[in-house]
Structure 1
């Protein structure tokens, strides 16, 4: 049996599909797993041993379809479920199953604050998509595999951080999912441990400002490492502080303790750190959620904005960095 899994973007969403890929591969005899995604996210999946072949979503959609048709798929697992994935399914003309994105429920929640979202993580709902194949959740949590060539050597980080550090993820796709710079500066100033600031090239300026507050304690890694190298820095961290973004899910894949900071989006959308059925066992790492509850304007979007629609940005401005510091101490003391 040859199965195509579709998820075009983004890093976090793709990482959240990895239990589906693993369970398909391990539970269906002789299955061949292919994955269709955008070129910029292929590196996230390249080392995944449960995927037999990765296909790029080309700018030329017809070219993509021709390549996929040549594979002769028996089943399509559509975990993106948008117009383009529907076109792919129509063109391949084989059996398929599509993820229910619950767009109506999200719309009601963001526009009228009526929460009809199921109290289930999105990973569990992703796995429901393949239940017709007899595939079930193995409880193993998320996967992330780093190519050996992209493992970060100790010599590539400062000597001051080689005995252990906290990973601080400062990026996120939208500004309303990120702590303001002055909050981040306050946070790094009161943390009593070495910090590596993590993010992409677009976060380098923020990282520079944070590093300037204490160049010995704070190392700015934003834009200096590939996504897989950044993932390896997450793997090597003692714990990770992160916004609602891809590296947060990568941290959960490595069973790292996570302090998850939320702004205009909410964990009730089902995308908080996921460790599988065993995440709350004593021997496993856990996570803490940091958010401002009770705001009548929150959530204002299922994704985010470039600025607060209300102008006050209370969902982030009211977060207390001292509270995050206390959670850091609690997690480090429990290790």
Structure 2
């Protein structure tokens, strides 16, 4: 059987790249004659490890492949790897426009996915918003494959392919921490790239306290960076036997293996929300300046996976598609009106269902 070779390009952001996984995994499951090469940033390549007939090409576009000439060099490097029957641009920015133009010039068929820029801008503009729910990003990816002649039905989670060594590494780490699952395990991922996505971090101690008053639990902290770890350490001082810091300790795929053991992940609109969702565990995500109906909500999850102030109460929402650093009305009421008691009550309700 001759394999049809598809080249996919998606450089960033982390959540957008992770959301490619359900589409790619579903594609290869439905089409055994297809081989996929995913070109992405090196730090995102592990999302696609161990997927059947999926090859990764880590492209360092910050140092190795920069600018126009960098895209030329990347094109040459990819061509040396083999012949491709199809190039799918799953990013559609200036870099990928250059790259797809080069492939098209040399005879490779090119498909560009529909990013939905116009509809998304209509959601986020200040006046006369058009807030019709948009299709999910994963569905946009699926439609690009369908447009190329490869229809399929999206599989159900979990989507990541994790080998036994990853589960063993996560298990060994838990053993070293002397952790056994005899209570609820709740993940917390409180940070995101933009301020308008971050629920006030001072609320988390109250959430933890409220939950511990009603059930026994341990809380696993996910994130990265010195500032985030310092915050987690401050929580650990308040709840020394209840806080477990995974941030900065485990590698990405080991964290994903750990996530699959959680009873629930509490997060904001962030890549960790997507990772937990794709890992197939329950999620409660808090939304402020962005909105899940723009196409980035927890994939295949219901309304009980989202907490947000309604647009009837705050018609300024969302003020941005991807997040911003300032609040157009002042004070981020989309975040502050969601209280710790509300979040704790929702978590307890989810755990008890």
**TM-score normalised by L of structure 2:** 0.85
Unpaired runs of 5+ residues, structure 2, are none
- 2:77 corresponds in structure 1 to 67
Match of 1:172 in 2: 192
1:184 to 204, 225, 231: 204
For the aligned residue pairs, the C-alpha RMSD in angstroms reads 2.2
2:308 corresponding residue in structure 1:
291
Partner secondary structure for residue 165 of structure 1: strand
Match of 1:76 in 2: 87
Matches within 5 A, 1:27-176: 27-58=30-61, 59-60=64-65, 61=70, 62-70=72-80, 71-93=82-104, 94-111=108-125, 112=127, 114-132=129-147, 133-141=149-157, 143-151=159-167, 152-153=170-171, 154-159=174-179, 163-176=183-196
Deviations, residues 289-310 of structure 1 (Å, cap 9, x unaligned): 1011121322111111234344
Q: State whether structure 2 residue 23 is matched by structure 1 residue 16.
A: no
Is residue 160–residue 216 contact of structure 1 (8 Å, CA) maintained in 2? no
Superposed displacement of residue 64, structure 1:
1.3
| 1:201 equivalent among 225, 234, 249 | 225
**Is 1:235–2:260 an aligned residue pair?**
yes
Residues 113 and 242 of structure 1: is their aligned pair in 2 closer, same or farther, counting only changes over 3 Å?
Answer: farther
2:273 paired with 1:248:
yes
Contact 2:14 2:271 in 1 (8 A): yes
Q: 1:171 to 1:162 in 2, by over 3 A?
A: farther
Q: Which residue of 2 aligns with 1:302?
A: 321
Q: Cα 1:238–1:84, aligned 2, differ >3 Å: closer, same or farther?
A: same
TM-score when normalising by structure 1: 0.89
What secondary structure sits across from 2:338 in the alignment?
Answer: coil
8 Å contact 1:22–1:50 — kept in the other structure? Answer: no
**CA distance in 2: counterparts of 1:216 and 1:29, whole angstroms:** 49
Distance 1:230 1:122, change over 3 A: same
Map of 1:283 onto structure 2: none
1:319 shift after superposition: 0.6
Give the whole-Å Cα distance in 1 for the aligned partners of 2:49 and 2:263: 26
Q: For 1:190 and 1:163, locate their aligned partners in 2 and report how far apart those are by CA, in whole Å.
A: 16
